[in-house]
Amino acid sequence: MLTAIAWTALGAVLLFTFGGEPNSQVRVFWLFQPPLDLLLVYSSWRVYRIATGPIRRYWRLQTIGASLFFCGDVVQTGFALFRRDQWSTAGGDIQSTCFAVGLGLIIVGMLIHPLPGRTARESLAFWLDSATVMVGGAVVAWCFAVTPDQQDKNASLIGSLAAGAVVLTSAFAAVKLILSGNAPMHKAAATPMIVAAVVNAVGLFVAPPGAHDSFPPHVYVIRLLPSLLIAMGPRNQEILARFDETAFGSRRRRPYSLLPYGSILVVFVTMLVVLPNGLDTRLWGVVTGLGIIVALVVARQLAAFHDNTSLIDQLREHQERLSHQALYDELTGLANRAHFREETTTALDGAAPGTVALLLVDLDGFKAVNDTHGHGAGDLLLAGVAEKLRQSVRSGDLVARLGGDEFAVLLRDCTVRDAEQTAQRILRSMGDPIEVGETAVRANASIGIACVGEGDDDVRSLLHDADIAMYTSKHQGKGTWNRYEAGMVLSH
């Protein structure tokens, strides 16, 4: 790599030395290209041998493309050395064809390189962003391909198109490296190649207007530098791959990109540059490209709006799911203790005496079911009891699982008689066995009832009173119900 830098520096010195001699400058320019191309071919081939999978496929295509660059530049070097009046740095038809085919292979490698972990909509957004930048590059390429002075015999349309293709390909490469999150090269390898694209674009602009037969030495030097920078990228990748196992690793990609908006800015600037020439073919191309870019950006925004809507819907569903998990028991689907307390507090607020009742239901012999049939059977029994409780109450009543085998029922707008009848319905429903695997188990329960009285009843006092009544039922033989009355004491 140091040799390549020294070689390029020597070429720059010679270009300045032969300043004012067009044939000598062009010969030096083309003579110094093939060795740099050879470094690109060799380094790309070395990386290809190290890489695996889709990354190996990309570097194989890059190696073939670099070989075509080398062949084309060797042919053009021969023309520059043995023919006169070879002033163009864009190359002849053979060199431009090799260059275009090589670029095409690299583009194919970029296009088929996989995008990791993307949904169909994320892939669509990626391609819309890529297309926006590519159209911007195509507009710039068009402005260089269609020059105002097409009558100049030395102006090569193929050469101009090849120069524009560099801009287009470089733009797409930048998009692929920045947006994909799965670039087939390390940042240290991508950086000099992206810088090469920038320098190459600068080299297209620095030529003096109307200069076709010769250029100042600095123009040749600027146009020579990309060959060095492009060759340094694979060389860096080769060195990194020897010592770093993550040299080809994916990186975290940004959820957004400003490149499409940069493409709009580039096209606007291009339009301002060509606008003074009046309404010509170049201006029509810029306006057409601008219209396409605006359409692509609008499509991208519509996709983003759809994504945002989908994200909001997902967040709403997630919030509802979390809210349900916070308020309801996972096993039975009944309200949990916190939700039951909250609903009972609301029902007691301003309730008249005898209009709100609370039933505490505790299963009899549940531990024996767990010990005999296992915890899985116990879970099935609890789920079956929960269903029986739902079927035994009114639509406006709330059934909850307080924990373990203890359930509670909140009866709104009910009389004492309604509460007693509900307890009786629950006990009758318990008479039907519940299928627990291959065994039918009869679930017995003891119920305690507590109704709102004249005092300042709250959730805690009602649960306490219902608990006393429930344990009184257990002491009376289980499978029965009792309503709390003043003077009733808790007896375990």
Taking the C-alpha atoms of residue 476 and residue 492, their distance in angstroms, rounded to an integer, is 12
Type of residue at 266: V
In the set 73, 364, 405, 457, the catalytic residue is 405
85 is catalytic: no
- Beta-carbon contacts of residue 288 (< 8 Å; ≥ 6 apart): none
Task: Write down the domain spans for the chain.
Answer: 1-312, 337-483
CB-CB contact of 217 with 4 (8 Å): no
- Give the pLDDT of residue 240: 87
Taking the C-alpha atoms of residue 37 and residue 123, their distance in angstroms, rounded to an integer, is 34
| CATH entry, 337-483, from 3.40.50.720, 3.30.70.270, 3.90.76.10, 3.10.180.10 | 3.30.70.270
Taking the C-alpha atoms of residue 267 and residue 292, their distance in angstroms, rounded to an integer, is 11
Task: Give 353's Cβ-side CA count (13 Å radius).
Answer: 4
Element containing residue 2 per DSSP (H, E): helix 2-17
Taking the C-alpha atoms of residue 175 and residue 133, their distance in angstroms, rounded to an integer, is 7
The per-residue pLDDT string of the chain (492 residues; one tens digit each, 9 = 90 and over) reads 899 999 999 999 998 998 778 788 888 988 999 999 999 999 999 999 988 888 889 899 999 999 999 999 999 888 888 875 555 566 678 888 898 888 878 877 877 777 666 677 777 777 787 778 778 777 776 776 665 554 444 445 555 555 555 555 555 555 555 556 667 888 788 888 878 877 877 776 677 765 555 778 888 899 899 999 989 989 998 888 877 766 675 555 555 567 677 778 888 888 888 888 777 787 888 888 888 888 888 888 887 788 788 888 888 988 888 888 888 988 898 999 999 999 998 888 877 877 889 999 999 888 888 877 888 888 888 999 999 999 999 888 999 999 888 999 999 888 889 999 999 999 999 888 888 877 888 888 999 999 887 556 788 888 999 999 999 998 888 789 999 988 777 655
Helix axes 337-348 and 281-327, enclosed angle (nearest 10): 80
Taking the C-alpha atoms of residue 464 and residue 470, their distance in angstroms, rounded to an integer, is 10
What predicted TM-score, i.e. pTM, was given to this entire model?
A: 0.54
